[in-house]
Amino acid sequence: MKAKDYDFIFKVIFIGDYGCGKSSILIRYCDKIYHEYAYTAGRFDFKFHTVKMLGKTIKLQIWDYNVDRRFNTSLPTQLRPKDGIFLVFDITNRKSFNSVNGWYETAKSSISSNTPIVLVGNKCDLESERQVSYDEAKELADNLNIVYIETSAKRNNNIEAVFNFLTLLMINS
Ligand code: GDP
Ligand code: MG
């Protein structure tokens, strides 16, 4: 398909600490598989995915960066107002949750005020290892005025749902 065949072309980026499952979510969504070792080779990886929603054909350009927030104070790429962001943490790793505010600030400094952001709590299949409660994450998301959704790339829980949700937000932003 050519660019003119799409109603929308959106860029989607993943941010969040190393190891929280960003690459696994991307691979689960685009390739329908799960690898125990989904590490990003090099500085970034990207995939295209076409979705049909509300009678529209939408091309998602999904970027998976390996960014260390300690050395980067801005996003690794320019986003347009209608692009979208997944801010991911690992529900079994409190440190990754503690980083959410910092990632949010990093994002906010480089985007327009209505760029959609979805907070994703990944690895919800590991309930017995949970370090961050649903309510606590939901409260943080509410304070940031963004949506919170829990996923499992491993069990394929809510993966389509988070992408559909972000896509709807981008269409309507
Ligand atoms: P990234 O650094 O954020 O891209 O994280 P990766 O996608 O490379 O995942 C880091 C590790 O967590 C890998 O060993 C994955 O297999 C594992 N992982 C990712 N998603 C899940 C999940 O939903 N459940 C479980 N149990 N493990 C996961
Ligand atoms: Mg990765």
Domain boundaries, the chain: 3-172
Residues with CB under 6 A from ligand 1: 18-24, 36-40, 122-123, 125-126, 152-154
Q: Which ligand has the shortest distance to the CA of 152?
A: 1
Alpha helices, DSSP H only, in 78-173? 94-98, 100-108, 134-144, 159-172
Q: Is the model's pLDDT at 76 over the cut of 80?
A: no
Record: fold of 3-172: Rossmann fold (3.40.50)
Whole-number pLDDT of residue 81: 84
The stretch 56-66 carries a mean pLDDT of 91
Identify the band that residue 40 occupies on the pLDDT scale cut at 50, 70 and 90. Answer: low
Q: Is the model's pLDDT at 6 over the cut of 70?
A: yes
Q: Check if the beta carbon of residue 92 is closer than 8 Å to that of residue 50.
A: no
Whole-number pLDDT of residue 39: 62
Q: Is the model's pLDDT at 113 over the cut of 80?
A: no
The stretch 37-65 carries a mean pLDDT of 84
Q: Is the model's pLDDT at 43 over the cut of 70?
A: no
25 closest CA partner among 124, 118, 159, 121: 159
Q: Whose CA is nearest to atom 18 of ligand 1?
A: 21
Nearest atom (ligand 1) to Cα of 24: 7
Identify the band that residue 72 occupies on the pLDDT scale cut at 50, 70 and 90. Answer: low
The whole-chain average pLDDT of the chain stands at 90
Q: Is the model's pLDDT at 55 over the cut of 90?
A: yes
The stretch 106-118 carries a mean pLDDT of 86
- The DSSP output letter for 158 is S
Q: Is the model's pLDDT at 42 over the cut of 70?
A: no
Residues 6+ apart with CB under 8 A from 134: 121, 148, 150
